[in-house]
Chain A
Amino acid sequence: MPAAIPSDGHGPDILVAGGGLAALCAAIAARRTGASVWLVDAAPDTLRGGNARHGRNLRVAHDGPTAHVPDRYAVTELEADLRRADPGADPQLLHRLAMDSRDVPRWLAAQGVAFQPHAAGALPYSRRTVFLLGGGTAMVNALARTARRLGVRVLHETTVEEVAPGGHAVLRAREGRAEVCARAIVACTGGFQANRPWLRDAFGCAADGFVNRGTPYATGRVLRALLDRGAAPVGHATHAHLVAVDARAPADDGGIVTRADGMAWGLVLDRDGRPVRDATHETGSARYSGWGRRVAACPGGLAHVILDNAGVARLGRRVYAPRTMADTDTLAQTLGVDPARLAATLAREGPAGGPPWHVLSIRPGITFTGLGVRVDPDGRVLDRCGAPVPGLFAAGMIMAPAVLGGRYLSGTALTVCAVFGRRAGEAAARHAHA
């Protein structure tokens, strides 16, 4: 049920655009200062939380072991890791991110979020990240409950169509369109990974093969509005976090389980039967994004992982079972490539144990896009001269390219959302009260 847009002419102190982790943190932080807050989310209540629904862990610095994270991960170490991953990162934002990450578990816990104790033994060892008990959806449930309890007015199925300096916004719900004047707007609407035309602009025809791993509501509409209103861009539209996903994954919101694996111990062929090689031999979570980029570069954004019996056994249980072909001819027929050439390629580079062959077709799955707006450490949107645009703030993936523009480190996206969501919410409330 879309809540009707209140039409009494009085906007809130703070209008938070979006409904993901950044938006929830901004709304709660602003509301806790006493400001009146609306949280305006294009998604219905059943799909609330944006991509945070699909997240699992957050990267945080800490000076010693806690119930939720072992050993130690110093602020300086996190800062150095981030800088190495993205040498072009905004140093001020990066420092704030590393410093404030320490307080993220405590602050989120105070808003009702539960973390998973590592001693219970169900988690892989990780001294750099804390894990959400029950994953991101449980976090979203807790934050949404807290926001409502504090009196944040939550409007679902309502799209922010325009934002303008001074805190003006245009909202659209099923009932119609309304102009709202807030004292400040915090834009937390994420990237544009659900916007097909924009993806095609940025990535060419390859974009047609992309799978959006998360929320179908990340259209980038507010990002575009901010850029059109003079906000300074950061990052590039052609950058994105990609991982290889099963080609059968749903077009949106497939989340974590569609992620493909097995590339390292099988042979990867492109649409035309040519081998796709991994020169980096990355391991750990980097291997997923490496393959995302490689598949995106393949013609048609499609590739096939060919495994033998041993490879399938290593693969373990998958949501999408591999397709099995009794012989090389059937495989060639299925892939639509020349049988003789395929046989030669397999003999030369294929896994030794086939046939039978097992095939997993893969596509690039997009996690978030790499174009954003420039902000200061309080989330104030900056114009091209570096001056704050009055009344406009931004947090989350909409500004993250300033710090996560390079190689992605697991768990950093949610930390950016929590740190800068909270900071922007508090700063926007200060602005509104001033």
Chain B
Amino acid sequence: MPTPDTMILDEARRQMTVCVVCKYCNGYCDVFRAADRRPALSDADLLFLANLCHHCRNCWYACQYRPPHAFAVALPAALARVRVLSWRRFVGLRPSPGGLAGLALAATLLVPLLAVLLVPAETLFATHRGPGAFHAVIPRDAMVWGAALAILGPVGWVAVAMVRFWRAIGADTSGPQVAAAVPLALRDIVTLRNLSGGGAGCNDRDDAASGARRRAHHLVLWGFLLTVAATLAAAGAHHLLGMRAPYPWISAPVLLGTTGGVALLAGVAALAWIKHRADPAPEAPETRTAEWTLLAVLGAAAASGLALLVLRETAAMGMLLALHLGTVLAFFVTLPFGKMMHAPFRALALLRAAIDRQETARPHARPQDP
């Protein structure tokens, strides 16, 4: 009896085989040339290729074999399924889409609930001003230890999954090769080169060329990194400068956090809008809930963070702080099990592809005209 996993992998292999022979889409992204170098299309090859795919959907609209053709090539959906499979395989666990959404919601509500139960109402709903106001509501020790637990567990788990994934797709590479390829991979990550459709743009909503999703993703990526930077800056201010949160408007943590939060929120809203309006034909429907869950968690974290900033001198601050911490908790507890896994795995896939590219960087021969 073939398992659902082997069926997913075999179907992706069948479709990818058509692509390896056809090659028409090889200008859109790195997937096709990477596949060319791996004509055996082993399971590990497919796990790699699936994570290299940025899901621009171009190869769906451009495909001469898309359904109703008998060859039924629907590569974006087939690779989306393999991606999810790869995350489950290397993380070792993946809740159902509904379970994942439930987990996110529960984590989000947990902190406000604990706050209501544990913090006296006259503190929680009071107006706090000045340095140390946040810790007047939620003690600093609780926040630090909670954060450490909530962050280190999932991040460690993801790190282990990354190591296992790399063993599957990069065991044949050497340290120097990796080191030389890291700058290339980093450039691909920060520029989202594979979301440019070979220069023509992506088929975000339908077969029209568009740069909207790439721009929105840039906002999310940079917004996210800025909020991470804000958190680090806050920790620095606390430990090195002895400052106490909330920090003044004109301070590194607040400036970074505000810019990042606004970018993140705008990017998430744009991604959600594009997803909502997009032609569903190229999609694998069962992968959608996890995508919406991630957008919801990121959006809620950014929105509650910004609300906290604006309303921090009002009585709403206590609950907003709890809610914001809840969304951050939701982000981390769902990290290894949700769509967020695309980020670390894609980074590794891009690194692997960059190593390939370096190996073939020799000027190529001049074969016969086709």
Q: Within 8 Å CB of B63, what residues of A? A: 137
Residue of A124, A138, A319 near B61 (CB, 8 A) is: A138
Residue of B24, B198, B360 near A120 (CB, 8 A) is: B198
Q: Within 8 Å CB of A33, what residues of B? A: none
Q: Within 8 Å CB of A410, what residues of B? A: 369-370
Docked complex Cα distance between A112 and B23 (Å): 22
A133 contacts B27, C-beta separation under 8 Å: yes
Give the contacts of B52-83 with A (CB-CB under 8 A): 58-59, 61-65, 68-71
Whether, in the assembled complex, B139 has its beta carbon less than 8 Å from a beta carbon of chain A, the answer is no
B369 contacts A128, C-beta separation under 8 Å: yes
Whether, in the assembled complex, B200 has its beta carbon less than 8 Å from a beta carbon of chain A, the answer is yes
Q: Within 8 Å CB of A126, what residues of B? A: 369-370
Residue of B59, B69, B197, B368 near A284 (CB, 8 A) is: B368
Q: Which of B25, B367, B370 counts the most A-chain CB atoms under 10 A from its CB?
A: B370
A54 contacts B64, C-beta separation under 8 Å: yes
A316 contacts B39, C-beta separation under 8 Å: yes
Docked complex Cα distance between A112 and B33 (Å): 25
B69 contacts A253, C-beta separation under 8 Å: yes
Nearest chain B residue, comparing its CB with the CB of A285: B370
Whether, in the assembled complex, B308 has its beta carbon less than 8 Å from a beta carbon of chain A, the answer is no
Report the tally of A-B residue pairs with Cβ distances under 8 A: 118
Instruction: Indicate with 1 or 0, residue by residue over B3-45, a CB within 8 angstroms of chain A CB atoms.
Output: 0000000000000011011111111100011000001110000
B21 contacts A145, C-beta separation under 8 Å: no
Whether, in the assembled complex, B192 has its beta carbon less than 8 Å from a beta carbon of chain A, the answer is no
Whether, in the assembled complex, B236 has its beta carbon less than 8 Å from a beta carbon of chain A, the answer is no
Give the contacts of A228-271 with B (CB-CB under 8 A): 250, 253, 255-257
Q: Within 8 Å CB of A54, what residues of B? A: 64
Whether, in the assembled complex, B364 has its beta carbon less than 8 Å from a beta carbon of chain A, the answer is yes
Given contacts A122-B27, A253-B69, contact A116 B198 (CB under 8 A): yes
Q: Within 8 Å CB of B368, what residues of A? A: 124, 283-285
A117 contacts B27, C-beta separation under 8 Å: yes
Minimum distance in angstroms from A280 CB to a CB of chain B: 15
Size category, A interface:
35 or more
A319 contacts B62, C-beta separation under 8 Å: no
Q: Within 8 Å CB of B200, what residues of A? A: 114, 133-134
Given contacts A114-B199, A117-B198, A133-B198, contact A284 B20 (CB under 8 A): no
Nearest chain A residue, comparing its CB with the CB of B67: A46
Nearest chain A residue, comparing its CB with the CB of B364: A121
Q: Within 8 Å CB of A367, what residues of B? A: none
B41 contacts A317, C-beta separation under 8 Å: yes
Minimum distance in angstroms from A34 CB to a CB of chain B: 25
B208 contacts A256, C-beta separation under 8 Å: no
Minimum distance in angstroms from B357 CB to a CB of chain A: 9
Whether, in the assembled complex, B366 has its beta carbon less than 8 Å from a beta carbon of chain A, the answer is yes
Minimum distance in angstroms from B203 CB to a CB of chain A: 9
Q: Within 8 Å CB of A430, what residues of B? A: none
Residue of A120, A145, A255 near B208 (CB, 8 A) is: A145
Given contacts A122-B32, A316-B39, contact A137 B64 (CB under 8 A): yes
Whether, in the assembled complex, B286 has its beta carbon less than 8 Å from a beta carbon of chain A, the answer is no
Given contacts A135-B24, A257-B22, A317-B21, contact A284 B41 (CB under 8 A): no
A257 contacts B364, C-beta separation under 8 Å: no
Nearest chain B residue, comparing its CB with the CB of A112: B209
Q: Within 8 Å CB of A137, what residues of B? A: 24, 61-64
Docked complex Cα distance between A116 and B58 (Å): 14
A114 contacts B198, C-beta separation under 8 Å: yes
Instruction: Indicate with 1 or 0, residue by residue over B328-370, a CB within 8 angstroms of chain A CB atoms.
Output: 0000000000000000000000000000000010001111111
Residues on B lying within 8 angstroms of A by beta carbon are 17-18, 20-28, 32-33, 39-41, 58-59, 61-65, 68-71, 197-200, 207-209, 360, 364-370
12 A-B contacts, Cβ less than 8 Å apart? A125-B365, A127-B369, A128-B369, A133-B200, A134-B198, A135-B24, A137-B64, A257-B21, A285-B368, A317-B20, A317-B21, A319-B18
Inter-chain pairs besides A128-B369, A141-B61, 8 sampled, C-beta below 8 Å: A114-B198, A116-B198, A121-B364, A123-B27, A125-B364, A126-B369, A134-B200, A255-B64
Closest 6 CB pairs of A and B: A135-B24, A134-B62, A284-B368, A114-B200, A116-B27, A138-B62
